[in-house]
A and B are shown apart, each in its own frame.
Chain A
Amino acid sequence: AQSVSQHNHHVILSEAASLELGCNYSYGGTVNLFWYVQYPGQHLQLLLKYFSGDPLVKGIKGFEAEFIKSKFSFNLRKPSVQWSDTAEYFCAVMPGGGADGLTFGKGTHLIIQP
Chain B
Amino acid sequence: GAGVSQSPSNKVTEKGKDVELRCDPISGHTALYWYRQSLGQGLEFLIYFQGNSAPDKSGLPSDRFSAERTGGSVSTLTIQRTQQEDSAVYLCASTRKDTIYFGEGSWLTVV
Interface pick from A54-62, A65-73, A74-82, A97-105: A97-105
Complex contact A104–B35 (CB within 8 A): yes
Residues of chain A from 81 to 114 with CB closer than 8 A to chain B in the complex: 90, 92, 94, 97-107
Cβ-defined partner of A106 (8 Å) among B42, B99, B102: B42
Complex interface: chain A residues within 8 A of B93 (CB)? 102
Complex contact A49–B99 (CB within 8 A): yes
Please, how many angstroms separate the alpha-carbon atoms of A46 and B41 in the complex? 19
Complex contact A44–B48 (CB within 8 A): no
Complex interface: chain B residues within 8 A of A43 (CB)? 91, 102-105
Please, how many angstroms separate the alpha-carbon atoms of A49 and B100 in the complex? 10
Complex contact A104–B91 (CB within 8 A): no
- A106, closest chain B residue (CB): B42
A residues touching B (Cβ–Cβ < 8 Å)?
32, 34, 36, 43-44, 46, 49, 51, 90, 92, 94, 97-107
**Can you name 22 A-B residue pairings with CB atoms under 8 Å?**
A34-B100, A43-B104, A44-B91, A46-B100, A49-B98, A49-B99, A51-B98, A90-B42, A90-B43, A94-B98, A97-B98, A98-B31, A98-B95, A100-B56, A101-B31, A101-B33, A101-B45, A101-B56, A102-B33, A102-B45, A103-B45, A104-B35
